[in-house]
Amino acid sequence: MSAMLDRLQQEKIVAIFRGIEDQYADQAAEALLSGGITLMEITMNTAGAAGMINRWRDKYGSQAGIGAGTVLDLEMAKEAVAAGAQFLISPNLDESVVDYALKNNVSVWPGVMTPTEIVRAWKAGAEAVKVFPMATLGWKYLAEIRAPLDRIPMMATGGVDLDNIADYFKAGACAVGMGSKLVNLDWVRGGRFDLLTERARQFADAVKAL
């Protein structure tokens, strides 16, 4: 097991930064760190994503695990790894991305939905998978596919909130990916970083209580 997968399973939450403006990014990252969330994914469809990943590795590398999300293809994977991403997450399974990450000692957690895709990702060398879109599929779907595929660590992304986070872990998720519920861009743009810290703390406490 890689150190990053170990960390994912210990900390259980990945904060997803999608579409955040560069001018707010550092304060938002610091707000989450203050609340106890330390695994952060910047999606590659965010303007200036590679620059932010690179800067965060410098600024927060001792405290945080910084990765790239929405890594759709090999070209994006190369850009993310060059920027210093410690893990790659995608909504889809592209074996060339998995292969590239493995060759560069970067953790890779591709997006999958069906049992066939989950096993394909595992056979391609992914050490964990992201089951997506969980908001539509729901935690009961996760519980069903975990029964025969219990050896494969699964991160659930989409639809996670304070009132159901425990259900996702009961269903067998090893971690959850959280976007707007955690990184609320209205709060960010309004300068309410205190609210971000408070929300991060609530979720960090919720997974500690599991």
Catalytic residue numbers read 41, 130
In sequence order, which residues have a C-beta less than 8 Å from that of residue 173 and are 6 or more positions away?
Answer: 131, 139, 142, 154, 155, 156
CA distances for 165 relative to 1, 43, 148, 149, 170, angstroms? 25, 22, 22, 21, 9
Tokens coding 30: 């610091």
HEC-encoded secondary structure of 74-134: HHHHHHHHHHCCCEEECCCCCHHHHHHHHHCCCEEECEECCHHHHHHHHHHCCCCEEECCH
- Cα angle 68, 73, 74 (rounded to 5 degrees) comes to 90
